[in-house]
Structure 1
């Protein structure tokens, strides 16, 4: 797979605005993703399984930014993730799964506020 997306496929699938903004033009007038799709597949496959032992094996401070309108993770699941691990700070933002791009100011403020607690 080359990673090139033909223009008609973009129009038919209507990807989220956050993805459209990241597309890169190709020399032949098409568009491509800024990453290799096979890397995304491998990353997604690595999420399958039970990872609680990994998540709870450390108690260093962590920030979990929960996107209340995520299409990927229900808010209840995010809250459970936070509840299972000590020293995990939860910040909830209105937005979709790509909240870091759809609400960059809110995301940046959440990170800054969290980092300020570590001083």
Structure 2
């Protein structure tokens, strides 16, 4: 999704009934209705990969957001803080959104971060398997 339609200053992009490109935020998702998503920001791509807007509060999406924030801002030597308090997680989502929306940010940087998150997920799985 990021590789073919990365957006800034919104979670998702879609085409309206007139073919116009529109962007929605978390607060304005209902405007999109059931139209197909044509692009996403970092957070929107994570939400879409986890099942779409209806799954935004699901554990897979929430944990992917936790791991993404940790990959960007944490240390590989520190454990991931799974399931932070709701205000902390909300602050992390804002951090990820601000990072995505920086004027000089590129889709290549977002894709690079997502690849790093994928590697971190593999490391977390291996760590959990090693310590049952």
State the TM-score, normalizing by the size of structure 2. 0.27
State the TM-score, normalizing by the size of structure 1. 0.29
Which structure is larger by alpha-carbon Rg, 1 or 2? Answer: 1
Greater relative contact order (Cα < 8 A, sep 6+)? 2
Larger strand proportion of the pair: 1
